[in-house]
């Protein structure tokens, strides 16, 4: 040992003491967690699984959408319809269709002449005999005539929603989900559809026509991508070809005439018009 050197045992003691002091200091800091963190001016890092802190911009999960109500049993719907007479069921169905069009309801003494009821409200009445595929193609609410066992007259309902498996009928003012089998049993195809000629195309026309209605037709065909010519007002071969192609693609009568069915489907394809749709039943 060199003269004046400190013993090795005593040299190690200060180092050990410093390590013990540091350990005690770290333990104290951990025991004072929140205060120590605040003193350093920072927040504890977020860990996976931590609940969102108030005001940190996190949004709670949106509640799950309510499931669609189950179909109403067919015998219950039959009983409700049978409790109405034919006239009352028709008035209720017409009222439901006017409501989805946001038109004024029937007056108490207003006769239920469907063509007149529609006309005085700027609508048109399309009577038809069809099937579910046709109704989905038109994509407009409809008044259906249903046949009930033992009833001498049909009952009317408003169809306001439809898919392959389900439909929504308004029975005496109450939306009623039913399955497709109910319509198969009670609906034999007779229906009325209220619609609106948004572009005032007028009576049915074809290649013999010219002028403003033809120009508006050309504009509609251009909107859906079926025609790229000018809005000339001339029912030329390009216009006729575009119309025939549209009718063929939509399974309409391919006759080159702009009748009611063609217009309804054309307005639906063009979009942007204030019209109710069958959509997906709720």
Residues of the chain above pLDDT 90, percent: 73
What is the per-residue pLDDT for 69? 83
What is the per-residue pLDDT for 139? 96
| N-terminal to C-terminal alpha carbon distance within the chain | 97
What is the per-residue pLDDT for 210? 96
Stated pTM of the model: 0.74
Q: What is the mean pLDDT of the chain?
A: 84
Clarify whether residues 79 and 187 are in a common domain: yes
Q: Is 254 exposed, middle or buried (0-12, 13-18, 19+ CB in 10 A)?
A: middle
Contacts of 259 by beta carbon, 8 Å cutoff, 6+ apart: 204, 253
What is the per-residue pLDDT for 26? 47
Residues of the chain above pLDDT 70, percent: 75
Clarify whether residues 226 and 261 are in a common domain: yes
Categorize the per-residue pLDDT at 68 as very low, low, confident or very high, splitting at 50, 70 and 90: confident
Q: Is 198 exposed, middle or buried (0-12, 13-18, 19+ CB in 10 A)?
A: middle
Residue span of the structural domain in which 135 resides = 74-195
153-161: average pLDDT: 97
Clarify whether residues 119 and 151 are in a common domain: yes
**What CATH number has the domain bearing residue 222?**
1.10.101.10
DSSP state of 157: E
In a domain? residue 139: yes
Among 161, 195, 229, the domain-final residue is 195
CA angle 77/68/85 to nearest 5° reads: 20
Closest CA to 189 of 144, 248, 126, 139: 144
Clarify whether residues 99 and 180 are in a common domain: yes
165-193: average pLDDT: 96
**Residues counted in the chain:** 282
225-254: average pLDDT: 96
What is the per-residue pLDDT for 209? 95
Q: Are 124 and 198 in contact (CB under 8 A)?
A: no
Clarify whether residues 87 and 191 are in a common domain: yes
Number of alpha carbons in the 13 Å side-chain half-sphere of residue 4: 0
Clarify whether residues 186 and 219 are in a common domain: no
In a domain? residue 52: no
In a domain? residue 138: yes
In a domain? residue 114: yes
**What CATH number has the domain bearing residue 173?**
3.90.70.10
* pLDDT exceeds cutoff 80 at 155: yes
Q: At what angle are helices 237-249 and 212-223 packed, to 10 degrees?
A: 50
Clarify whether residues 241 and 166 are in a common domain: no
What is the per-residue pLDDT for 62? 55
In a domain? residue 253: yes
Element (H, E) at 269: helix 260-270
Closest CA to 194 of 98, 112, 95: 98
Among 152, 167, 195, the domain-final residue is 195
233 or 45, greater pLDDT: 233
* pLDDT exceeds cutoff 90 at 282: no
Question: What would the pLDDT profile of 95-152 be if each residue is shown by its tens digit?
Answer: 999 999 999 999 989 999 999 999 999 999 999 999 999 999 999 999 999 999 989 9
Clarify whether residues 167 and 234 are in a common domain: no
Number of structural domains found in the chain? 2
Number of alpha carbons in the 13 Å side-chain half-sphere of residue 266: 30
Closest CA to 252 of 127, 115, 159, 133: 133
Clarify whether residues 154 and 110 are in a common domain: yes
* pLDDT exceeds cutoff 60 at 24: no
């Amino acid at each position: 040992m060199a003269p004046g050197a400190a013993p090795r045992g005593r040299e190690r003691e200060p180092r050990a003491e410093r390590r013990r002091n540091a350990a005690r200091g770290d333990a104290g800091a951990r025991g004072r967690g929140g205060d120590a963190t605040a003193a350093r001016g920072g927040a504890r890092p977020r860990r996976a699984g931590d609940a969102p802190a108030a005001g940190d911009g996190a949004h709670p999960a949106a509640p799950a959408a309510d499931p669609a109500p189950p179909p109403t049993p067919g015998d219950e719907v039959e009983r409700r319809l049978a409790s109405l007479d034919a006239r009352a069921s028709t008035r209720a169905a017409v009222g439901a269709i006017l409501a989805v069009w946001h038109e004024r309801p029937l007056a108490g003494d207003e006769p239920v002449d469907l063509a007149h009821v529609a006309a005085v409200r700027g609508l048109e009445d399309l009577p038809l005999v069809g099937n579910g595929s046709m109704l989905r193609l038109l994509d407009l609410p409809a008044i259906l005539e249903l046949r009930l066992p033992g009833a001498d007259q049909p009952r009317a309902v408003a169809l306001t929603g439809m898919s392959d498996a389900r439909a929504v009928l308004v029975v005496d003012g109450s939306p009623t989900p039913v399955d497709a089998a109910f319509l198969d049993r009670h609906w034999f195809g007779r229906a009325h559809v209220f619609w609106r000629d948004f572009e005032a195309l007028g009576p049915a026309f074809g290649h013999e026509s010219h002028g403003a209605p033809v120009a508006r037709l050309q504009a509609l065909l251009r909107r859906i991508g079926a025609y790229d010519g000018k809005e000339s007002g001339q029912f030329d071969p390009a216009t006729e070809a575009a119309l025939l192609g549209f009718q063929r693609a939509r399974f309409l009568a391919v006759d080159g005439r702009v009748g009611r069915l063609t217009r309804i489907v054309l307005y639906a394809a063009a979009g942007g018009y204030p019209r109710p749709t069958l959509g997906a039943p709720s």
